[in-house]
Chain A
Amino acid sequence: MSQVVSTLPSTPRRVPDRMALLAERRRAGLLLATPAAVLLFCLSLGPSAWVIVLSFTDYRLGVTALNFVGLDNYAELARDPHFWNSLRNTAVYVAVVVPGAVLSGLGAALLIESRSRLRQFYRVSYFMPVAGTLVALATAWEVILHPSFGLANLMLEGLGLSRMRFFSDPDMALLTLAGIGIWELVGFNMVLFLAGLSTIPRDLYEAAAIDGAQGGLDRFRLVTWPMLGPVTMFVIVLTAIRAFRVFETVAVLTQGGPNRSTDVLLYTLFTEGFRYFRTGYASAIAVVFLLVTVTLTLLQTRVFDRRVNYDR
Chain B
Amino acid sequence: MQPAQVSLNGIDKRFGEPQALRNVSLEVRGGEFLTLLGPSGCGKSTLLRIVAGLEVPSAGSIAIAGRPVDTVSPRDRGVAMVFQNYALYPHLTAGQNIAAPLVMRRLNWWQRLPVLGRAMPGTRGLRAEIADDVARVAASLNIRHLLHRRPSQLSGGQRQRVALGRAMVRHPVLFLMDEPLANLDSGLRAHMRAELATLHRRLGVTFIYVTHDQVEAMTMSDRIAVMFDGEIRQIGTPETVFRAPVDLDVAGFMTHPHLNRWPAVGRDDGTVAVAGTPVPVIADVPAGAGVTLAFRPEDGRLSTKSVGGFVPATVSHIELLGSDALIHARRETADTADGSDRAVVRVAADLTHGLAIGTPVWVAPDAGRAWCFGADGARLSDQQRRAA
Contacts and interface: CB of A to CB of B under 8 A. Distances in A.
Interface stretch (A95-103, A217-225, A260-268): A217-225
Tell me whether chain A's interface is mostly helix, strand or loop, or mixed: helix
Interface string A196-208: 0000010110110
B52 A227 contact: no
Nearest to B85: A203
A207 B152 CA distance: 17
A218 B104 contact: yes
B87 A201 contact: yes
A311 B83 CA distance: 20
B101 interface: yes
A82 B163 CA distance: 61
Given A214-B73, A310-B150, A206 B54 contact: yes
Interface residues of B, number: 28
B80 interface: yes
Interface in A280-312: 310-312
A257 B151 CA distance: 55
Interface in B55-97: 73-75, 79-81, 83, 85, 87-92
Contacts of A201: 85, 87
Given A222-B104, A226-B91, A229-B91, A212 B75 contact: yes
A213 interface: yes
A268 to B, nearest CB: 40
B243 to A, nearest CB: 37
A213 B90 contact: no
Nearest to A203: B87
A136 interface: no
Contacts of B88: 207
A311 B89 contact: no
A13 to B, nearest CB: 43
Given A210-B52, A212-B75, A310-B150, A226 B105 contact: no
A38 interface: no
The 4 closest A-B pairs by CB, nearest first: A212-B104, A226-B91, A207-B87, A203-B87
Given A206-B49, A207-B88, 5 more contacts: A206-B74, A209-B54, A211-B75, A213-B75, A310-B150
29 contacts: A201-B87, A207-B87, A207-B89, A209-B53, A209-B73, A210-B54, A210-B74, A210-B79, A210-B81, A210-B101, A211-B75, A211-B104, A212-B101, A212-B104, A213-B104, A214-B73, A214-B75, A218-B109, A222-B89, A222-B100, A222-B104, A226-B91, A227-B90, A227-B91, A310-B91, A310-B150, A310-B151, A311-B90, A311-B152
